[in-house]
C-alpha cells in the first residue's frame, strides 16, 4: 500500500510537471502529449491523484505523520523528476523496474 501511494505521488507530480510551459518535454510514458494538449484536465487528474495519495498516507500513518511522510515523499520525488526528466531518464521501463520489485517486496515479504 505504501508503494502504491508513492507511485501515485510520482505520477501526479510528473503530470503536473508536464503541464508546465517551462518544462523540457519528452515522451517517456506516452501520455505526455495528451497532457500537454489538455492542460486543465491533466491538472485536475493530477490533483485528484495527489488527494488520493494524501488520504492513503493519512490512513496508513495517521493524520500528522501521514502528512509529514507525504511531504517528504513529494519533496524527494519532485527533486528526482526535476533533475532526471530533462535528461530523458524517466521512462515507463525504468519506473516499472523500480516499482514492481518494491511492490512485490512490500506484498510478499512484509
Is the pLDDT at 18 greater than 80? The verdict is: yes
For 25-56, the pLDDT digits (tens) are 777 777 877 888 888 998 999 999 999 999 99
Among 48-57, 58-67, 84-93, the minimum mean pLDDT is found in: 84-93
Measure the CA–CA gap between 96 and 29, rounded to whole angstroms. Answer: 11
- Find cell 518544462 and name the residue: 23
Q: How far is Cα 106 from Cα 91, in angstroms, rounded to an integer? A: 23
Amino acid at each position: 500500500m505504501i508503494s502504491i501511494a508513492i507511485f501515485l505521488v510520482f505520477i501526479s507530480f510528473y503530470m503536473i510537471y508536464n503541464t508546465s510551459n517551462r518544462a523540457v518535454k519528452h515522451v517517456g510514458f506516452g501520455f505526455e502529449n495528451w497532457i500537454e494538449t489538455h492542460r486543465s484536465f491533466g491538472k485536475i487528474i493530477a490533483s485528484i491523484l495527489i488527494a488520493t495519495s494524501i488520504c492513503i498516507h493519512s490512513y496508513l500513518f495517521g493524520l500528522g505523520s501521514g502528512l509529514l511522510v507525504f511531504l517528504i515523499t513529494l519533496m524527494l520525488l519532485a527533486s528526482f523528476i526535476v533533475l532526471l526528466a530533462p535528461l530523458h531518464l524517466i521512462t515507463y521501463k525504468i519506473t516499472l523496474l523500480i516499482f514492481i520489485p518494491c511492490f512485490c517486496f512490500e506484498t510478499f515479504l512484509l
